[in-house]
Structure 1
Amino acid sequence: MSNFEAVNFFKVYYSHYTSRTMCIPPNSVVLPKGSMSAKATLRNSSKNQCWHVELKQVGGNMYFERGWTKFVDQNTVNDGDILVFTYVGSSLFDVTVMGPNGCMKSIFEQQEEDYCEIQGDDKSEEIQVLATSNKKTKGCRGKGSGSKNNKGRVEDEDVELYIARNVNQLNPCFVVKGRKHRDNELYIPSDVTKHYNLNLEDEEEITFIDPLGRKMIGKVFKWKDGRICIHGWKTVCVINRLNSHRDVCICEFLLHNKEQQDDDQGQGPTNCIKLHIRRGNQQ
């Protein structure tokens, strides 16, 4: 049961006023009569990660206090960001962090301890690794990653033919066919990093380039066991309306790309992933 009543609201973040506490818009949260404080849970909309904060009434205004600073720090909230609070019930708010332009931001957690427990290993991901010869190397494929019993999904043969025709054979690539959990992370198969000697640094920024030429920024995260993923994948999926049950996304590292080299002259090396999206049939 909830220890207060609430409605949905939003707030523009400015560190000068809201870095330590955040004043909640009037009448957005109502405490029971005679109560001056309560506990609330904030859950970001990119992951099932939660923060506990204290609600406190001061001088007729309601504030998020104890626990708020940790939420701000671990969700990389910056000046001008828009925070949208959706009240779910049972003292729980879903929080969406958007940039000043109104687009949803990718949320990069700062510490490994903040994550939920890993469920399974590389085999839990529906990923297919392809070598430069277009012959499939021994990769990671989840259950149902083939075309069998996947109505509407792109056929494996169609994907391989597309890669042969449209992907630079000097560039490493891998195929993402869906995720069962941790949808803000793009796992980089170890076969790819080892075969191509890819050196991705922790917290290094990666630029995703979608089929329309739009660029989105992700950030590398390295696990202690050596696995590598890129945070910010959910933003890519949302903007491109990827359907995890039908669509297939081919990720191509642009290691050998003349246009990219021309763009980067004088700016130093950058890591870019070009996205090729193959749409499945709607049923």
Structure 2
Amino acid sequence: MAEHDDDVLLPRFFKVFLSESASESFAIPLSFMEHLADPLPNTAKLQGTGGRDWTVNMTKIRDGVYFTAGWSKFAQDHELVDGEFLTFVYDGHRTFEVSVFGRLGCKETRAEVEAIAVDGSSSDSDGSSSDSEEERELSMDFYGDTSLGEDEEISQSLYPLEDEETESDSAVVEGNLDIEALTNPHFSTTLKNRIYELLIPANVVKENKLTFGDSVKYIDGEGTLVGLRGKWADDRICFKGWDRICRRNRLKKHQDTVECELLHDRNKVHSIRVHIMRGTT
């Protein structure tokens, strides 16, 4: 597998969890200190694989740096036990992407974000989704409010792909893209009136014998976002949260094209890599 250049450059470390010393605070290895931002930020963001974020204090004690206030909540939410180990991937600023491996050595997804049904925004009882709000023309102030709540904060680093995952040599790009060079299944889309969900074309799913879980990770030049799977009576496959990708990349209707590359492990899609081509429609 060809590794993504950004994944190679991002510093990381791992530690075994021991409740006796790491239930209330967590020591960052001394050998990792050189990678921390200077001056040291007061807080850090821990991003779990389940799509949630935790804010923890970063405290310098003698010659070391510790995650203090907020760490016990992270440990509790992830139900950490002795002998499990954690990997931390650091974006160079204040975000650590944390993966949990059980005592059998398998990566586990814990403390997952919960899907909340919003009245009028999901599917109707007959399987046809309400289009009253979503199918209107985008207003002039579409990009006016790009603020995100605490539960919607985005990672500023790319989520590292595991060795067994498939990917192409192409990174997230803006501009020209050699579509033929993509080795994973992919499809094109544009900014549509219906921006809240990304629909996966049925022919792409069928031809490549793809399967999907309850969520995917969107990967773009800003980092990663978690998209929850929508529910449709006719079994079409779509994922929510696409409007956030559209907003933060400031996609323009009738101008920009997005090539969505489906990253998978044994045909089960785990991530959607976003390639943006400006002014190509």
Q: Is this a same-fold pair by TM over 0.5?
A: no
The alignment's TM-score, normalised by the length of structure 2, stands at 0.43
